[in-house]
Structure 1
Amino acid sequence: MKIEEGTIVGINDNGLADVKVGRHSDCMACGACDGAQNIVVQALNPVGAEVGQHVKFEMRETNIVIGAFVCFVMPLLVAAAGVFIGHWIALSQGLNEINLEIAGGIIGFLLGAVGVKLFDRSLSNDANAKPKIVEVLVR
């Protein structure tokens, strides 16, 4: 488990807390965000922390690794599979190989992007995938 600290900036109707977190080395290395100095994370709030309190929360590191794989590697693998399928279809039908490989790659990449969106939706409904506030810090 990875432990982070942040400040609660809001409590949602569904019981999740919006925690403002300063960017750290993992965020700087990724660069996927818009470049803001802070990010806001939705976390489970079993300790009943309130707006303005500084809290510690934990994140499962496996979720970070799986998310990075699904977002960055999986679309490329599906695109490569599309290229091979386009090549195979072109050979079996006697068609232009390059055009079908390109089309297969584009279709594969689009399918991979849809897969990323579906994965994101499934994680948004999974309570085990969300960070969890474990302690309210006194300042």
Structure 2
Amino acid sequence: MKTEEGIVIETDGNISKVRMGKHSNCKDCGACPGSDAAIITADNQIGAKLGQRVSVELQESNVLIGAFVVFILPLIFVFIGAITGKELGEMLGVNELISEFIGGAAFSIAVIVVIKLFDQFVAKKDKDIPVILKIAK
């Protein structure tokens, strides 16, 4: 777990959106549209209000699994799809290139479904949501 600072930009009961400052782990990621645009949803049990600077505890438990699912798993699925398509194409007497393409495309759609299911699974786990620890001075 690590602690970062950010500013509360929206609150809804015990859930707040916090704009996090960019730190060394974010240097070359490029996932955020701007230099200070990382916005997270955090548990706000302490009652932080709009505009307050807060310390947020971030969970890092699924970072490696998430990176694998988003970056590596699609490559594996497309490769397996192309090989499967080629084998089926040979068995059915269809052009290998076309069957490889169709197999790769089918497995690409399948991996999108797997990623979406993983995202929903991770989103439901309450213990992984960031928590606002304190209001910074």
What SS is found at the alignment partner of 2:76?
Answer: helix
Amino acid at match of 2:128: A
* Paired-residue identity, %: 35
Amino acid at match of 1:54: R
What SS is found at the alignment partner of 2:62?
Answer: helix
Give the aligned partner of residue 118 of structure 1.
117
State whether residues 19 and 36 of structure 2, in contact with CA within 8 Å, keep that contact through their aligned partners in structure 1: no
Distance 2:112 2:89 in 1: 24
Q: TM-score w.r.t. structure 2 length? A: 0.86
State whether residues 6 and 21 of structure 1, in contact with CA within 8 Å, keep that contact through their aligned partners in structure 2: yes
Give the aligned partner of residue 6 of structure 1.
6
Tell me by how many angstroms 1:31 deviates: 1.2
Residue-by-residue CA offset, 1:49-88 (whole Å, 9 max, x unaligned): 2222211111122222222222222122111111121122
Amino acid at match of 1:58: E
Distance 2:85 2:27 in 1: 38
What SS is found at the alignment partner of 2:28?
Answer: helix
Tell me by how many angstroms 1:25 deviates: 2.8
Amino acid at match of 1:107: A
Q: TM-score w.r.t. structure 1 length? A: 0.85
Structure 1 residue runs without a partner (length 5+): none
Deviates more, 1:78-87 or 1:46-55: 46-55
What SS is found at the alignment partner of 1:20?
Answer: strand
Structure 2 residue runs without a partner (length 5+): none
Give the aligned partner of residue 70 of structure 1.
69
Give the aligned partner of residue 58 of structure 2.
59
Amino acid at match of 1:32: A
Tell me by how many angstroms 1:10 deviates: 1.4
Over aligned residue pairs, what C-alpha RMSD do you find?
A: 1.8
Give the aligned partner of residue 32 of structure 1.
31
Distance 2:4 2:103 in 1: 42
Distance 2:33 2:100 in 1: 33
Amino acid at match of 2:2: K
State whether residues 4 and 57 of structure 2, in contact with CA within 8 Å, keep that contact through their aligned partners in structure 1: yes
Equivalences for 1:16-27 in 2 at 5 Å? 16-27=15-26
Deviates more, 1:102-111 or 1:121-130: 121-130
